[in-house]
Every structure is written in structure tokens, then in C-alpha cells.
Structure 1
Amino acid sequence: MNSSPLVHTVGGATFAKCNAENQHLFTVNAGVSGEEALQHASLLMSCVNTLTFLGAMDDGNEAMRWASHYLSEMAKALIDDVTLGLQHAQDGGL
């Protein structure tokens, strides 16, 4: 039986740009199980899906659109970091 390598986040993905220099405010922590990180990303995207649907029905609620934007940015960072972990594992952990 071929066992796939355990994949973990590497801590390379950032999100939440701020200030004039576009510094990133947050970074994904290294060492989190890739499976758990993807589960969390899925939960975030479920919230995004709900918020964008509700926001589309209510033109006056800009907060839902901003919330969905920030949540999707977090989910993307998680997915990007797991992808970096997969690449790291394929390269033999180098």
C-alpha cells in the first residue's frame, strides 16, 4: 500500500494587506496539518458563500461583501500554504 506523505502548512502564505506599504498583517502558521487547514478553508468558504448570497439580495449591506472578501482572503492563504506544503513534500522536504 502506498502511503501519501503527511502534508503540513509551511507558514509562507500571508494575507490582510494594510498601510501604504501593503504590509501583510497575518501569516499562516507553519506545522498545521494540511487536512485540518483545508477543512478550515472549506468552512471559511461556506461562510463566504452564504455572505455573498445574502449580500446579493441586499444592496444596502456593504458589510457582508467586505466580510466575504476578508474570509475568502483567509481561505485562499490556507489553500496556498497547503499547496506550498505539498510542493515541499514532493521535493523530499528540502
Structure 2
Amino acid sequence: MTDPTTKSTPFARCDHVDHHLFAVQPGIPLLDALEHASVYLSCAEALAHQAPTATRPEHSASLRWASQQMLGTARSLVQASVDGLHAAQAGGDA
């Protein structure tokens, strides 16, 4: 088995077009990608806990939005890692 790395994984779909704003890049070592996913999840959790107690409504909405964006990024990092692991186990770039 080759050393597993991420597969390209687009995320953050634009509302009115069939494109994504961002993508996890291929070839990132899985440990690096998963460490970043863990950091994003921790930050999203912290923001989600702060949102209900924000003193201004617009702050609460911004904290929720930021948390959602971090969750989407973390999900994409994990998916890119899973896809990369499957490709490495299959012995190629499948």
C-alpha cells in the first residue's frame, strides 16, 4: 500500500451555480488533513457554544454561520482522507 494522501474534495457550493468555492487539495498526508479537521471541529464546537449567549443578535448569527463553515471544512477534510485511504488500499489513484 502506498502512503495514503488526500483526494481532491470540493466543498462550499455556490448558491446559484454548479461550482464550489474551495477544495481540499490532493496529495496532503492524511495525518496532516485529519489534524486540521480536528482543529476545525474544536473551533466549530467553541463557536456553537458561544452563539446562544452572544449579546447581540447579529453576533449570534455570525457565530452560527462561522461554525457551519468550519463543520463543512472539517467534513471535507475527513472525506478527502477517507477517499485517499481507499485509493491507497486499492493500490492507486482510484
Instruction: Report the structure, 1 or 2, having the larger helix content.
Output: 2
Residue number among 14, 35, 39 corresponding to 2:35 in the alignment? 39
TM-score after normalising by structure 2: 0.87
Structure 2 residue ranges without an equivalent (≥5): none
Give the distance between the partners of 1:36 and 1:25, measured in 2 at CA: 22
Deviation of the 1:23 alpha carbon: 1.6
Using CA pairs under 8 Å that are at least 6 residues apart, name the structure with larger relative contact order, 1 or 2: 2
TM-score after normalising by structure 1: 0.87
C-alpha deviations, 1:32-71, integer Å up to 9, x for none? 1100000000000000010000113338211000000001
The total of aligned residue pairs comes to: 90
- Whether the 8 Å contact between 2:14 and 2:20 is mirrored in structure 1 is yes
Structure 1: unaligned runs, 5 residues or longer: none
Q: Is the CA contact 2:5–2:26 (under 8 Å) kept in the aligned structure 1?
A: yes
Root-mean-square deviation (CA, aligned residues, Å) is 1.6
CA distance in 2: counterparts of 1:63 and 1:37, whole angstroms:
26
Q: What's the % identity of the aligned pairs? A: 32
| Superposition deviation, residue 5 in structure 1 | 4.8
**16, 19, 22: which is aligned to 1:23?**
19
Which residue pairs with 2:85 in the alignment? 86
Q: Which moved more, 1:17-26 or 1:42-51?
A: 17-26
Equivalent in 42, 46, 52 of residue 50 of structure 1: 46
